Amino acid sequence: MSTVLISGASRGLGQALAGAFRDTGASVFSGAREATGPNDIELNVRSIPSCEEAVRRVVAVDRGIDVLVNNAGVHLGGPVTSLDQDAFKETLDVNLLGAWRLTKAAVPHMRRGGTIAMISSLSGLVGLPDDGAYAASKFALEGLSQSLAAEVAPLGLRVLIFEPGRVATEFAGVTDGLAPEIAARDIADAIRRRDTPFRNPIGADAARVFEALDVDRGERSEALVRAVTGCGWQPRPGE
C-alpha cells in the first residue's frame, strides 16, 4: 500500500485527488490549513515548520512517503502593472515556494521509486492577459521541476508535472469544464504508471493546447539537460 501526501486537499482538485488515491487503496494524508476530517493533517505550505511537522506526522504513521502531490495554490488576476505587490508575493509564496518547502521537507523521507507530482497549469505554458502573476508562479514551478527532476533521479525518485485545463472547481472562478473527480482520476492513474512522461495535459482542452504549441512532454528538454550536464530526469532501471 502506497503512502500519499497531498497539499491543498481540503477542497477542489486536492480533495478529489485524495478520493482518487483512496479508491486505489492508498494511505492518503490530506494536507489542509485546518485539519477538520479524520484523514486531514494541518499543513500551511507558507511555513517551513508546518511542512516539516506535516511530514513528520506522516512518517510517524507510515514510516515513509511514496507520492507527494504539490497541489496547494492561489490565483491572482489583473493586469501586471496594476498588481498589488503583497498579493503578488503571496501568489509566488504559495504556488512556487510552497511546493519547494514541502518537497524539501518530504524528499529525505520518500521511498525509492517514489513520485513528486507538481500540479501546474496551462498558465505555466502560456501567459494570458490579466493572468501574469499566476503565470509567473507556474512558469517558475515548471523550471523548478526540471532542475529537481535531475537532482532527485539518483535517489530513485521521479518528478511529474500536470497541466490541467478548465476544471470545474470554482478555482479562479471556473465553474465549467472537466469534473474534478475525472481530472483527479486521470492524475492518479498517470502517477501509478511507470511510463508517464514528465509533462502531462489533463483534459481535452489542455491536450489541444499541447498540440497547438507542440509542447515538449519532457523528452527534448531532458536530452538537452543530459547533453549539457550528463544528468537525466528518470531513475535508472531497478532504482
Long-range contacts of range 137-143, CB-CB < 8 Å, 24 or more positions apart?
137/73, 137/91, 137/92, 137/94, 137/95, 137/96, 138/95, 140/92, 140/96, 141/95, 141/96, 141/99, 142/199
User: How far apart are alpha carbons 186 and 176 in whole angstroms?
Assistant: 18
**pLDDT digits 0-9 by tens, 99-153:** 999 999 999 999 999 999 999 999 999 999 999 999 999 999 999 999 999 999 9
Is residue 119 in some structural domain? yes
Q: Average pLDDT in the 61-84 region? A: 97
192, pLDDT greater than 80: yes
The DSSP secondary structure of 154-191, one letter per residue, reads GGT-EEEEEEE--BSS-GGG--SSB-HHHHHHHHHHHH
User: How far apart are alpha carbons 37 and 211 in whole angstroms?
Assistant: 40
Q: Average pLDDT in the 193-213 region? A: 96
Is residue 239 in some structural domain? no
Is residue 204 in some structural domain? yes
Is residue 43 in some structural domain? yes
Q: Average pLDDT in the 73-86 region? A: 97
Q: Average pLDDT in the 189-206 region? A: 96
Residue 171: per-residue pLDDT:
82
Is residue 91 in some structural domain? yes
Residue 203: per-residue pLDDT:
96
Order of strands, edge to edge, in the sheet holding 158-164?
A: 40-42, 27-32, 3-6, 65-70, 110-119, 158-164, 199-202
Phi and psi of 177, rounded to 5°?
100, -160
Is residue 16 in some structural domain? yes
Is residue 237 in some structural domain? no
- 219 pLDDT band, cuts 50/70/90, is very high
Identify the CATH number of the domain in which residue 143 sits.
3.40.50.720
In which domain, by residue range, is 155 found?
A: 3-229
Residue 170: per-residue pLDDT:
83
What percent of the chain stands above pLDDT 90?
A: 88
C-alpha cell of residue 36: 477538520
pTM of the model: 0.95
11, pLDDT greater than 80: yes
Identified catalytic residue from 21, 29, 88, 134: 134
User: How far apart are alpha carbons 197 and 1 in whole angstroms?
Assistant: 23
- 237 pLDDT band, cuts 50/70/90, is low
What is the tally of structural domains in the chain? 1
Residue 165: per-residue pLDDT:
92
Long-range contacts of range 199-202, CB-CB < 8 Å, 24 or more positions apart?
199/142, 199/161, 199/163, 200/160, 200/161, 200/162, 200/163, 201/163, 201/164, 201/165, 202/162, 202/163, 202/164, 202/165, 202/167, 202/178
Q: Is 70 helix (H, G, I), strand (E, B) or coil?
A: strand
Q: What is the mean pLDDT of the chain?
A: 94
Q: Known catalytic residue: 53? A: no
DSSP-H helix ranges across 47-162 = 48-62, 85-92, 98-106, 132-152
Is residue 59 within 8 Å of 37, Cβ to Cβ? Answer: no
Choose among 26, 9, 209: nearest CA to 115.
Answer: 26
Is residue 238 in some structural domain? no
Residue 57: per-residue pLDDT:
96
**pLDDT digits 0-9 by tens, 13-65:** 999 999 999 999 999 999 999 888 777 999 999 999 999 999 999 999 999 99
